[in-house]
Structure 1
């Protein structure tokens, strides 16, 4: 009986120890779980704080960008309005100059037709011709400014009339038929252009490709002062492509310039007949 009692006591103590161990394990597990949850909650709180800060920064950046875009749009609208006003003024100036040019041409023609009218003197003719040339140059400068304004607004200014060929915002007419230099000049004027002026190698190459291979008149001459060649648009001779030995004023009086079939230039008698001549004018938008 005593041995059985000792065995019962030992079993009872053993059971109590196992219960204590299990309780301790459960407590430790609960503690570890609580620590993990606390760490996870801390991470969530930190992530939330960083996210909120990031959103606030993004809102601030977006607000600044929107404000800047609004200012840029307002400035762009102001620039567009100013450009439209400039274009309107340019168009008005062009109309006024065209009307004045027409009036002067009519008046000059009337001087020759009217028998009772006093004949114009050479000085008077030169003054009128100079005034017309100045008016044409001013009109072209205004037209160039108008094209630049249109291009800055996104327009394509490369439209040419029928039978004209476009190249770099200009239009070219390659005429054919025997003409003297003065006749070619007047024909170009009748087409609302002028004998071509050449100002770059690219333009020279383009003209050499399309021009008459027997030779063509161009708008270069030294009619007023020998050796001082001037373009029809009064622009300086900033580019040249003379044939070797030219200009030589051979025979005295070679005051007009032709474009040879090779593309090189040669001074020739203005009264000579050439079967080609080249006009140019500004392209439209």
Structure 2
């Protein structure tokens, strides 16, 4: 039996190039784990679900990402100024971890879940990669982004996961 947020059914594929014949290939698929709405404790906005962990639940960047993964999510990806502003309006902390990081000083920053980079909002003189260890990013209360050492600072964080549309 399928639960809320699951899909089960038959899909028909037609291959019109199979030796000049019309071939009907029938496949059964099941999709599981895509929420139709956000779970309790998550905030919904534009097909995404957000969960905020304030400064009293601080963590290093790596531990924050692990906590998000344990909830089938990732640290938040910020796609535009509107989303950046929305997130700012939802937390009181001075800064929170977001899912923007790099593997080493020689790498480029990228979103943890692989979304192509189409928006940044770095603060003045950022990223400055201080002492080559500032490979993770926070969203500051000013709305600007700042790079920090991933393991030697603990901040609140925001997890994000997609919600099924319609």
TM-score range, shorter chain: 0.7 to 0.9
Partners of 2:42 and 2:49 within 8 A in 1: yes
- Structure 2 gap ranges (5+): 1-8, 13-26
The offset of 1:195, in angstroms, is 0.6
**Structure exhibiting the larger radius of gyration computed from Cα positions:** 1
CA deviations over 1:101-124 (Å, ceiling 9, x no partner): xxxxxxxxxxxxxxxxxxxxxxxx
CA deviations over 1:4-33 (Å, ceiling 9, x no partner): xxxxxxxxxxxxxxxxxxxxxxxxxxxxxx
Give the Cα separation in 2 of the matches to 1:164 and 1:84: 32
Which gives a bigger RCO, structure 1 or 2 (Cα 8 Å, sep 6+)? Answer: 2
TM-score with structure 1 setting the length: 0.45
Larger proportion of strand: 2
2:20 aligned residue: none
TM-score with structure 2 setting the length: 0.75
1:174 lines up with 2:100 in the alignment = no
The offset of 1:272, in angstroms, is 2.8
1:200 lines up with 2:80 in the alignment = yes
1:275 aligned residue: 155
Q: Secondary structure at the match of 2:100?
A: strand
Q: 1:85 aligns with which of 11, 21, 31?
A: 11
Equivalence map 1:203-218=2 (5 Å): 203-218=83-98
1:184 aligned residue: 64
The offset of 1:208, in angstroms, is 1.1
Give the Cα separation in 1 of the matches to 2:69 and 2:146: 23
Give the Cα separation in 1 of the matches to 2:147 and 2:28: 38
Larger proportion of helix: 1
2:19 aligned residue: none
Equivalence map 1:120-199=2 (5 Å): 159-176=37-54, 177-199=57-79
Following TM superposition, the consecutive aligned residue runs of length 4 or more in structure 1 with deviations greater than 4 angstroms are: none
1:243 lines up with 2:123 in the alignment = yes
